[in-house]
A and B are shown apart, each in its own frame.
Chain A
Amino acid sequence: NAGVMQNPRHLVRRRGQEARLRCSPMKGHSHVYWYRQLPEEGLKFMVYLQKENIIDESGMPKERFSAEFPKEGPSILRIQQVVRGDSAAYFCASSGLTANTEAFFGQGTRLTVV
């Protein structure tokens, strides 16, 4: 059973470009969370999704950021018109039947905006 898979591991984008980060949850998991981590800091919640639904996006900036978790395929975190301040590690986690079980994390995508 593969763990949570994120790709790419590293992503470099120029200012103004779009960044698309992918997350495939663990098999059987229907809850996906996205977090952002700045160097030497903890993880900041961005968005919580279930299949085809955004449950909580209270941590996600209102502009330029969007997330989806389609019926088929991975969850996508999309950042449009990236700026230098978007440079961070973005982690995806998944959990099983309910939100109150262990969450397992992917290895993260390190986004660098140049």
Chain B
Amino acid sequence: SQQGEEDPQALSIQEGENATMNCSYKTSINNLQWYRQNSGRGLVHLILIRSNEREKHSGRLRVTLDTSKKSSSLLITASRAADTASYFCAFNAGNMLTFGGGTRLMVKP
């Protein structure tokens, strides 16, 4: 399968804690993107990291990319209850944007 794999599949933390989600893929990629999806809603683009970048920050988000290990991680610092959502990694391999299975994050107040 060309799909990415994410772990953990589900993560439950307390407000204020950090959340780390990991994504692995199998092919060569041009870039990797992270998305958030609230229940029953569309996907919101969070961040894009190119294959020649190793780390990128956006507010409380930190994304790393290790092309030698074909993996990426998304770190959300100082989590809030509003961060509760599913998070997906997606990577450009050829024509399509291929998604991982997602991590369901629950942040308890």
Contact = CB atoms under 8 A, between A and B. Distances in A.
A35 B42 contact: no
B96 A45 contact: yes
B97 A33 contact: yes
A107 B99 contact: no
Contacts of A48: 95-96
Interface string B10-53: 00000000000000000000110101000001111100100000
Given A41-B101, A42-B100, A103-B33, A108 B42 contact: yes
A95 to B, nearest CB: 8
Interface of B: 3, 30-31, 33, 35, 41-45, 48, 88, 90, 92, 94-102
Given A41-B101, A100-B30, A102-B33, A55 B45 contact: no
B97 A93 contact: yes
Nearest to B29: A100
B97 A45 contact: yes
Interface residues of A, number: 24
A99 B95 contact: yes
A42 B101 contact: yes
A73 interface: no
Contacts of A59: 96
Given A42-B100, A43-B90, 4 more contacts: A35-B99, A42-B102, A56-B96, A102-B33
